Structure 1
């Protein structure tokens, strides 16, 4: 039955879905309810139903709406959601909301001077997530978001980060999205609206029958069927257009007779504007001016600001507001502090009023609005929102206001907003003494938003200064920016020239620039023999304990590892990363990642794991999406090679999600093959193939694809496409040659090529390729790469010589962290022993160890192979330790250890940077494996021997 009491016509299914979503959140299930459709179709009324249902069910309801004017205002929608809650909370309640990591989001809500310096965009997102989670404690939470298409980018990013984390929390996001409009961000919005758990409602136009019912309710007197049919045809059954038509007819005293049907025909797509214009024509001049001032100021404009903008005193403005409310153009709302706010009944009505303003007058009104808001102490970004709509005039005060707004946006972790304001400041233009600073600030902000624009601004800044230190600081960013734009020569030139201009006292800066150039030559730009030619001299430099000195050591170590297979890289990288200061100062820097690579490819995992954990912690408190995505991706590889496949998959998926949020294409290209390899080892071949298809290898830059090719060849070999695997492995070889990658620990293309050739009965060629990998693997000495090379050579060589190589592989890997490769070596050794001995007893022990290790790793196909071989050898699998402390994964153990100290699930979640649901899952698994039921038993159970 249609709920006409709320003006919901023919919305039974949608109303039921809204009620169900609210009911679910009261039962602990969260998610997204999305109402999608054209303007006026009834989306806002369905959100109003969600608000009413939520209030009736005892939930907290927070509401916000995106607007065209404030789409550049950083976290504008987030602030609409939470500011009333924070304002009305008592001191104790407010502090409870800011508990734990939520405090990192305080700067978002500061009206002036949010904080000194830019915030890490991820640290702010993480803080907002915990603010949301804290808000939902005690009462389920409903977040209502109207006009999602106009939501500012930082708020969209918050939603994209929030949604995957609330499925099992009492948080419902109910949002309305207007179709047919250009969205603020066409990349982030689909990440939100295509959430797998989203419930999507698409209200349809009203039928002719419902149209007649609506008109009979809205209009005085009877409604002639021919008049109703004309209205239905003119409005397409759009509820908003029908109501606007009814209001206009009522205001004009027009009856709903058959004779008046012709009046409504042909209203067309601009119906609302025409209807509003008719009603506005009846307004006194003062009310019209007030409506236009309110339209310029935006939704929920304060009457005390709107009145002076309309050149009116308070009494006149109040009279105008009453007239506008009577004609249902806007409504008045009580302000939290006792005043009145003006809100249009619908964004289309506001747009109609705004469009009635003469274009020549509009800029003047926006300029006056900016001045009024500034004088009233408004947020700098609210002032800047109006300055964006004014023409450049060389006004120094405008430049200062825009820079202040940019600093506020950067401090809130919103580089997009900061760059928008600085770009407008450059157009003003700045005075001579401001210009260099504004150019530099704009360039630094644009690096995360628009690389070509960043390069242009930074190059202009370089050209404006002769100061060597300023030039070096600009060059550090500009050089890398050019390289990411595939303008490598310009990038290296910038870095080289800036180095040469520095005095001896600036050795730390010089080495920082050298580190940037070397890191780019190693991983990003192929064929730079000139950079590599300087390596011997760089290796002879005395140690310089500065940020630049340590970064250069990381880059040198990476080159020693990748191109020379020189174990000296390990001690160099260890020293650079030793005390953790580099991670704190340069998290996300490419040279830091070079240090991680030098150690992880050496299986020297403890130092790099400590550094990665510190990087993840630092990013949660102060860092960026980019830095965190890189750290999770690197740690995912370590977990993979350790054989901790569950932890590896968790890190890989988190890295991929973060890279998608930030639009980091390169990070995605590196993370996709990581996830594919993890899925392959877990036996999810089809998912691995689907994951690799996410990376368009054919069109990817060459610097991105060697890992994708390596992973693809593994998938092809596993699926039986050996011809394809061989072709792909040889493509990987070509990319490795371009980058001079000689270390088999980095890319195992020879392994996959050899296995493919052997499967194609080309064993002689397979043996030669496998043999070629053994020498550099021995030189490098890392157990994982050497063990793999020995294993493949042993399988292909055969006989006693092959058996010896397999035994050596097991010996090399026995005490290494490379548990997955160790399990493979044990399996292959046991299989060979079974086939070459008469009784098979010698095969049983390595196969039992292989089965146990593969099972612990979660490597299902490998475990099945070991089990099959063991049965064929006449052995029975002994009990694999799937219970007791030894069966716990690293994540389960860490959660259990923290729980044993008395920490709550929420405290554990905040410490480990996971959701409370994840803690609950890990703790339940730990209880099951330990055979206990309560927290009080954890300490004893964790110390019990198996």
Structure 2
């Protein structure tokens, strides 16, 4: 390698990283083309080749690698920079390559002295020098061609190029390869002389490295980073430009090395890249330097319209396009209708090289220009948020809010947060409230802890009552949705400081009271709420009144007062009810549980908001069980199931734990629907998933879950287990001071459950208590339901009268599911009264209603009773067997199903144990089972139990 080339020789990447050497990668196709040209020169004589490319693409590196390979193959290589004196370097290089005592060396020295002596400098090459050079080349190219490499030929002057041209034309018949490099798009210093020298040359245009070559180069530059996504991001940002890759690798090393992720690369600011590009452009055309900075500001990944770029750089559109053509030819800008930098990395490099004031001015000018031309909000917002200062105008706030909404719809939370943060700074009035709340919602969606801190910070800064109420709603949802979150006391103290002196100053106190709602007896909670309501009127009255009405509903002492309290709370403004996530749901639950379905539905429509991106607010999620209860009563079980499952999914997204009372309450309601649908396996799976199959946490809020669990065990034939759940339910009610009949699920299924487990007296007492409760409430649905269950336990003509009244009232209330149950019980009673035609009519209607509701268990039970009433039992062996059981066999079998031992049955029925065994053996034979372990198999037939217990008294 000659001395001059050694000084300027570069590896792939053009500029060797400071303090580091790396190897040459890629360019194998280009090297093969140059080697072919080298071989061609041996037969054709002089071959000219031009290697061109954009700044930093690696022309010098390629020429260096080619020169090394050519020297290994025996060629003499002479390398010179365009700005140097090429012929002088050529003469010295030839002299060094020949033996010192060669006559050609002496001729070269003598001719060189005459050409460039101390006192003379001939403008043209002396013929003697040309002859000496030719003679030397002839001697050196006997076995291999001479390689002349002129790097940066576009920087050479006329004289240098003319001298070199004289030499190569004199050696046109000799094996000489002239390789010159040019920068794409840049005008040469001596364009005519360059064209003459390289006339007829083959051209090789270098592109950026391929993705695989980029990965190989990064493997050398950053040996610890072998991530394919990382190298792909580097290739995208640099378009494979080796110089930019080297600088990007240096930035990665300086900013954490392996800790830098692919998404961090978009923020890389490389001053060396900016200096090289702008410096080169300034020397060529100052307008081009202004233009490329304007393109960097105006265009994102998709580029910018030429008019916007022209506006920013202060040129006409025509002038902009002409100047942009230079950048296109230099391969800095893509040749497209939109003006776009080919290397995304160049954008951050150029913007990073601008002063802060220049960047702000450019972005604000771009935003104003785009706004005046009604560009999409997202494009305008990009420039508004990129500026550290704001426009002194009102329109940016609405644009930023629109852009944030679009970003959220596209799931681009980063862009949405950026727009909302800027909107909070520039907006006023309602727009600022919208921006503050939207930003808090987004922070909560991304990180609940961070969102809570953001909400409290915004609460302390706002003086707007509506914004304050909305922020408290969000803070309450975050606190109430968790199981006593860490730092709750600290949060409440911060909230208290933020709302001190306002109408909601007692909000932390309200939260503390309702945080204990699931643990404290409702009467105690109602008393504490009453003390709060005795204070000065404030914005918390509606929320506190709704919660107090719910507590009175639970105790069941004055259901009418509970309903009126709920109505009073619902008559208040929406924001007041939303101050605590439980308030609205509590008031509506009181109405729904007491049979005022239509009234509750009207309020639900008023308070239900359209779905928003991400998770719904907790106060909205808590309305789903209320709505599900309503549609379930209407007999729309599938819709109720969908709403409850949707509610569970939302609660999971809110971080509500599986054992939180809110979540278990929803599980209880969903169990009720699944049992009605006959989905027992799904119900048991739900119990396991919710950790509800075994022991439940203490508290009254699990009574609906216990009722449903007892129903499931009874439907599965495990009456003993059902009895244990009912006993636990009774104990929980007594401990909390609750009236059992105040639970809607208990009013619907309690009597049947008590009868199944053999507690007939308790069932009758419950039915009478339920009637008194219903008369106090006064709603048709509850009055109808009370007469249904009382008619069920009364039997005889009185039972028939009650059931017929129940049917009429439930028809009026449009409670189709309860109506199906009442009709089924009336059919059973009529069949018992030996009125089969009327029984068949009632059962037929019950089956039709149950089927339309999706209550498969109830419908199947009705069908079995119809089959028995119509004597069509040949298809079901167990059902036929039930009808052949003797009264004693039925009594004994029922006792066994309720979990009683043979000894207990004998004592209760006052017969011997042997007689019990004989009765059970006969019953098992008739039913086609082998023993007690087959009881669950019998209960798969929902119609068996009513037929089995028909006319069988419970032992005293």
The two structures have a TM-score, normalised by structure 1, of 0.47
| Greater RCO (Cα-Cα under 8 Å, separation 6 or more) | 1
Which of the pair has more CA radius of gyration? 2
Normalised to the residue count of structure 2, the TM-score between the two structures is 0.47
